[in-house]
Structure 1
């Protein structure tokens, strides 16, 4: 029986169905033309048989499908994998376009209705409406915008397997789908669109999905920069413009108000060296250079277009004296622009910015300046010149012109500066400890820093931080590790001088567990001049990352002890008396399981709120959320609003990782929607939910008991079951993932197969590929069973009430609902057969099956659903429609794994495995 309700497609989703059919038909035609009729017929036969099996649960169809798949030649196998992989990618594009379509339909319905429709959840319009209804004052809202920070942080992802070449073609397909959707077409126009789709799909088919060589750090930087072209450069200014206009419509007091830039971009790509030996000072320098070049190239192009637009003649319009001065200073000698002061001013601004690009080492610009001009010394100088244009236009009857390209350029400059995105440094606390120990030992032999107690370490570090004298010496030799770490912070200091302090504003410490972990980084910053003891000044935020269950339980104590140090509080005052703390979702999940991770994160936030309040320090949380639920992913809006009251104090940073970046930000319409969701949720959580009361005590007690039970069940399986590590490596594609050319970072922190050393991303990705999705649910069934055994009469009713009334519990179960809907125990059982030891398999897989069944049964009972995803029919249909295309990929992956592991070294087998990994990831979407 199907776990997902097989409902019919509603009329509003007919366009989605039609788009998927169109793309599927063109893909089929492409396969027939390129590979022959026989290949097409096999693809179609597999598709129809798989659909028949899923629709009717026809066992004959299942056996027929297996027979077809098992009889394929190696070359044909890879053709089939490519076909179904591309279908998944194309279906994703159709779904993305449908989300845009539904958003536009809602907006247009509101515009044409007699009464405006209520704004949709997650929009800034709805957030402002709720704030207005709540009676929030203008001053309170103004104060929020004055200090707010909403920052998605892009990170490189070791399971992001798509190449930019394929993403570019997918973007082309998305644009054609949008064009077909937004205009009524003549037959010729429709034919031209379909021809465009055919060319794009043919190019995809003839382009390799996979990379032949492992990505370098700089390749990852360039991949990240592409999303600025797709979305951020244009859509971030649009979010601000819409918000300012909505505020003005809500209350005239906001007219002509320019909000501070609270929505900004961050990045780890090129600065995150935790476990990545390829992130060096040179990589950091190159990343910053590429970021800066990308930003200035955009500004130069926009200035060129702006000059073409502002052809205003000084004989017909008044122009401010400031603009006239800019025009006089311009090196533009053209007599054709003699009476066009705005154009002459802009060519001068362009020349100065081109000189700035040259000074920053960007090389030649796309269009040369008309003459020489002095470079800008700072972003503020450039902003000042653009503001002169803006003020003149507004003051002289051309205000609407200032609200076009110039408005967006000024906002882009304020957001992106000369650095584009704030690049965080990140390193593991163990590395800092070794480096600091060596520095002390070289300076004062016999210090034995690593042998000291925590109190003595803190005392020694504070003593050293109090003196302006450097601990390092140019006359001493240091280890390669220490030399590299010192070079990193010195490069960050150079970036501050070159691009401004916003270029590298943060230093994240992985596996932080003691106050000394923070002070060690302070010492390294001092060695680079980023911390100055005499003035109590610190130029970088030091951010501890608490990521294991034990670290989460102790993090409030660590921060309490840190804030009790007057010397640290003195430094913190130079950072606005604000401290950022990062919480790790991925590693806490791998350490303690889904339920316990979520609960310990929630409790940690409550305790941190209290500690920070007591010390008078502003709390800023950095959520290390991944793409999958097993790594803390899920809908961002619900996740932010599910935070405990007071956790979102106007500021939040969230990691955006890998395939989630492509899913959220490669389509500009979806990208703007996702940016707006982050801003709206932060606004609501800060002003409407900040003082919300704590959940009922019995809810908190119930969660504590459920978490304890789930933790025991999870740890008993993953860390206490003999042979489980081997079971994981043999029943998943983790070994093959580790060898796939999909990122610069190794799959494990250390050269071992221990689960403790494995990175959380491949851990989750491996379970997703075999369709078990274990990190997203394991332990829940056991926990609820134990709970209900103790309370057979009242236990279920209480859990149901928790689900209805508590946003945290709602979000937790909703995410689990999605993960379980994407799982498939029958397919997972076939992967378990890859385990060579029969007794090991029989000892573990039945436990997995029982827990999976119990988790689904108890989840449905608590949510009061008949089947998974009853409350999300669109996602249910999406998953149900994908299964017939995913199952053949899983089957073929299993067969290829058998061949490969038996010693078959054929390149087609290896390629087929890697292609199947890509296809399954595309079909599941947020899988790693």
Structure 2
């Protein structure tokens, strides 16, 4: 059956942009790689579309690349990879275009925008006191993490930005033919630059590189967007409830894991923690100093022409600026004084003073609030002479930036596995003579010992102590974190996260390490305090089931409860999407997470604490990905109490935050969903909740059994996985600082979730995002129309169930079992290959059939026309990358281990990750 373009009239401008960019790219390929390479690229492109239209068999296309020489393969791979970059760019512009059409048509604001949320709040007529209570300690924190599928260099992003700006200019400006031709030449130059710039690095990323990659998004978009959105949100809420003390702190405050997440990463050290924190602070100071220079240029008002407040006059005088050229320019004098003091602060706290520093004899600032106080004097003076327009421009943005980012820029979380904590604490206790064999103790005795340690300031260590390499390293990390907290404040290291947390002792061991570093102070009879919170991470399905019990038991420990009380009765809990999915499959993991949230909400009520959930979502659906707005609204009632933290990873970060318009849209989405989930009833089940939960209990158990039968019980499955996907090559190639496995193993349990999911994405199986669901639905329905109707009813009224199905459909639409069959051919054992791939194919068909039956749709993407258009327009261009990856894997595994072959495989991985946009 011939594929039909969905929404052709709406997508024609997009298709025109793609044709323009693709045409320019094609001409560059011909000019610089020759006619033969260009002909092969064009042949592959044409044949890919013929495959989509079912005009030829896929095998005919794959023959184009059989035995291809690597010198020819690489430019072909680069051509299709660059096309994916340009197509992403065109799609982003098209989304802007479609939103503009809706706005001009006078349509209501789109869901997931703050404007839409405000309209819903107005309609709800909420009580001021209720709103103030629910938004107490409000926080939305996107937490940037390192990720091996995002290795593009800053140069690539900057070139893409220039192309985007030129395409916008081309569309929105009335150009005569000469101007249009000139603009197209400029686009050509940028694409030429893109073509001749390496997409990826040749060497393995170091953590220092990953730190820089994460920080680049601040200059690209976050400095521009976050302060403005915070201010607009605060103003909008306070205008609606003027009597409430809403958002005394900015609600949107970013975080990071890069340089603090040492779970399975041996390269994170105390020095790295220092580097990550100091580099982040350098970025913040550099931004502030740069903005102060611009303000000095702009606020040139003369005291001969305007009056200033006495406070501003005093600030200008105290700056000590003796230049005769600024003698009558008090605003400039004041700003130079601020810049001088901020420079002195930078000299005190940073390893390197950024550009635009100013030599000064003034005292450094002690806190960001002191800088704000001085800037507030300038603001007040401007407003006093009617210069609100000036006060509300760059000055306002700088003030809100300092309020949001402080001196530290973003909070760096620490994370380590509970097994490491246990080993380290056992060594400390043995050395100090507290107990010779802590690990042999039962849980209640462990808790008693740890509680006693948390109640005394007596240290377990001394300067003369000699410990193992592991313990020495872990102590250096928490000691470095303590230095960071002392230098930049508690916001610089907000949390200590415990991976694989299963018990009370796991929680207390981390607290003991914070105490030994001097971060947690047991107090002298008035109870413990800590600027860094202890956060359990519940990851596997069993741990999620026991999470609430673990939390309640920990809160029953008097010293820990006292610690939480000192933190305003706030307790954060992190939920792991990746390992739970790898453990039990898509549906079982999602339901285990929902059930865990329900249990944790009840536990928080019982314990009298305020719960904040931190969602460890990846980019792909198999790791908790999918549209953020829908995902947040799909949480159970009470799970989002004004606060949300969420990880942002890999190529998804680029897709969301590479430029200001994208960043604003995505940050608004997080805020809108958090506010709606907090203030409005969005679950939709009412009295039908418990029967619905019972159905999902049953479905999840069936899905987990079906998933386990393949992944954990099928003999040879791990061998099939390793041979039919590029997982081994992911571990060997230079695409991240962290090893692919937590430890040397051939077990699926010990493999990291990122390479697990990325491998299935590259091979277009997408198994973690759907396997087991079809069997669960089919077995539960059992041919009964009433049961099928019940699932359809749940899909219609329950956001959680609808989101689970929608996300599954999205990932299945990106799967392609025809291509997956090509990867299966890499498995030499024919019996194993046919058995496992047969199970996958059968389950895939069953899952699609049940999804369509439940939803009543005709296709997987009927509820997501934008993605349907993307799949139709762009996925044929992915096909050559998959075929080339298979061919190069075949050559590599046959013994051709030349660097060029390795690089070709890496390029295909990067190209596919870019094109799929949420592959790992």
Counterpart pick for 2:451 among 462, 466, 473 = 462
Offset at 1:416? 0.5
Contact 1:271 1:284 in 2 (8 A): yes
1:308 is matched with: 297
> Secondary structure of 1:404's match?
helix
Contact 1:145 1:260 in 2 (8 A): no
Give me the whole-angstrom Cα distance separating, in 2, the residues matched to 1:51 and 1:655: 36
Counterpart pick for 1:757 among 750, 753, 767 = 750
2:795 is matched with: 803
Offset at 1:41? 1.9
Q: 1:108 to 1:406 in 2, by over 3 A?
A: farther
> Secondary structure of 2:878's match?
helix
Q: 1:244 to 1:540 in 2, by over 3 A?
A: closer
> Secondary structure of 2:105's match?
helix
The Cα offsets for residues 865-916 of structure 1, whole Å up to 9 and x where unpaired, read as 1111012122112112222211111111111111111112233322221111
2:114 is matched with: 124
Offset at 1:63? 4.8
Counterpart pick for 1:584 among 569, 576, 590 = 576
Offset at 1:241? 3.6
Answering whether residue 738 of structure 2 is matched by residue 738 of structure 1, we say no
Contact 2:578 2:623 in 1 (8 A): yes
The Cα offsets for residues 750-795 of structure 1, whole Å up to 9 and x where unpaired, read as 0122211100010000000110000000001111121122x62311
Answering whether residue 17 of structure 2 is matched by residue 24 of structure 1, we say no
Contact 2:635 2:683 in 1 (8 A): no
Answering whether residue 179 of structure 2 is matched by residue 194 of structure 1, we say no
Give me the whole-angstrom Cα distance separating, in 2, the residues matched to 1:252 and 1:876: 41
Give me the whole-angstrom Cα distance separating, in 2, the residues matched to 1:258 and 1:696: 33
Contact 1:563 1:569 in 2 (8 A): yes
Alignment of 1:87-106 (within 5 A): 87-106=83-102
Answering whether residue 625 of structure 2 is matched by residue 644 of structure 1, we say no
Contact 1:424 1:508 in 2 (8 A): yes
2:840 is matched with: 848
Counterpart pick for 1:522 among 507, 511, 517 = 511
Give me the whole-angstrom Cα distance separating, in 2, the residues matched to 1:235 and 1:544: 31
The Cα offsets for residues 222-277 of structure 1, whole Å up to 9 and x where unpaired, read as 111100001110111221243355457x6594999986311101000111000001
Out of 455-464 and 134-143, give the one that drifted further: 134-143
The Cα offsets for residues 647-706 of structure 1, whole Å up to 9 and x where unpaired, read as 001111000001111110002101111011101111100011279646533221111111
Answering whether residue 818 of structure 2 is matched by residue 826 of structure 1, we say yes
Provide TM-score, normalisation by structure 1: 0.96
In structure 2, list runs of 5 or more residues that go unmatched: none
Give me the whole-angstrom Cα distance separating, in 1, the residues matched to 2:909 and 2:487: 42
2:784 is matched with: 792
Q: 1:256 to 1:30 in 2, by over 3 A?
A: farther
Q: 1:776 to 1:725 in 2, by over 3 A?
A: same
Alignment of 1:473-872 (within 5 A): 473-534=462-523, 535=526, 536-689=528-681, 693=686, 695-789=688-782, 792-872=784-864
Out of 820-829 and 158-167, give the one that drifted further: 158-167
2:204 is matched with: 214
Contact 1:144 1:650 in 2 (8 A): yes
Alignment of 1:106-185 (within 5 A): 106-110=102-106, 117-185=107-175
Give me the whole-angstrom Cα distance separating, in 1, the residues matched to 2:231 and 2:350: 33
Number of corresponding residues? 916
Q: 1:924 to 1:258 in 2, by over 3 A?
A: closer
Contact 1:645 1:689 in 2 (8 A): yes
> Secondary structure of 1:696's match?
helix
Offset at 1:74? 2.7
Contact 2:570 2:611 in 1 (8 A): yes
> Secondary structure of 1:652's match?
strand
> Secondary structure of 1:544's match?
strand
Q: 1:641 to 1:252 in 2, by over 3 A?
A: closer
> Secondary structure of 2:614's match?
strand
Answering whether residue 49 of structure 2 is matched by residue 59 of structure 1, we say no
Answering whether residue 249 of structure 2 is matched by residue 260 of structure 1, we say yes
Q: 1:252 to 1:305 in 2, by over 3 A?
A: farther
Give me the whole-angstrom Cα distance separating, in 1, the residues matched to 2:536 and 2:619: 22
The Cα offsets for residues 392-420 of structure 1, whole Å up to 9 and x where unpaired, read as 22233222221111111010001101000
> Secondary structure of 1:513's match?
coil
> Secondary structure of 1:356's match?
helix
Offset at 1:188? 3.6
Give me the whole-angstrom Cα distance separating, in 1, the residues matched to 2:610 and 2:245: 30
Offset at 1:167? 2.0
Q: 1:25 to 1:7 in 2, by over 3 A?
A: closer
Provide TM-score, normalisation by structure 2: 0.97
Offset at 1:619? 0.4
1:919 is matched with: 911
1:380 is matched with: 369
> Secondary structure of 1:6's match?
coil
Out of 641-650 and 151-160, give the one that drifted further: 151-160
1:279 is matched with: 268
1:14 is matched with: 12
2:411 is matched with: 422
Contact 1:647 1:690 in 2 (8 A): no
The Cα offsets for residues 17-74 of structure 1, whole Å up to 9 and x where unpaired, read as 111111100100110110122221221122112112212x0136x4542332326433
> Secondary structure of 1:147's match?
coil
The Cα offsets for residues 605-661 of structure 1, whole Å up to 9 and x where unpaired, read as 001000100111000000000000000000000000000000001111000001111
Q: 1:217 to 1:292 in 2, by over 3 A?
A: same
The Cα offsets for residues 451-492 of structure 1, whole Å up to 9 and x where unpaired, read as 111111001111111111011122220011111111111111
Q: 1:616 to 1:691 in 2, by over 3 A?
A: farther
1:883 is matched with: 875
Q: 1:474 to 1:257 in 2, by over 3 A?
A: closer
Contact 2:633 2:677 in 1 (8 A): yes
1:113 is matched with: none
Contact 1:332 1:370 in 2 (8 A): no
Give me the whole-angstrom Cα distance separating, in 1, the residues matched to 2:264 and 2:695: 38
1:33 is matched with: 31
Cα RMSD between the aligned structures? 1.9
Out of 288-297 and 376-385, give the one that drifted further: 376-385
Contact 1:268 1:425 in 2 (8 A): yes
Q: 1:717 to 1:877 in 2, by over 3 A?
A: same
Give me the whole-angstrom Cα distance separating, in 1, the residues matched to 2:791 and 2:245: 50
Contact 1:337 1:344 in 2 (8 A): yes
Give me the whole-angstrom Cα distance separating, in 2, the residues matched to 1:170 and 1:92: 10
Q: 1:393 to 1:798 in 2, by over 3 A?
A: same
Contact 1:606 1:647 in 2 (8 A): yes
Counterpart pick for 1:436 among 414, 425, 430 = 425
The Cα offsets for residues 547-585 of structure 1, whole Å up to 9 and x where unpaired, read as 001100100110111111122111111111010000000
In structure 1, list runs of 5 or more residues that go unmatched: 111-116
Contact 2:29 2:38 in 1 (8 A): yes
Offset at 1:919? 1.5
Give me the whole-angstrom Cα distance separating, in 1, the residues matched to 2:802 and 2:402: 40
Offset at 1:6? 2.4
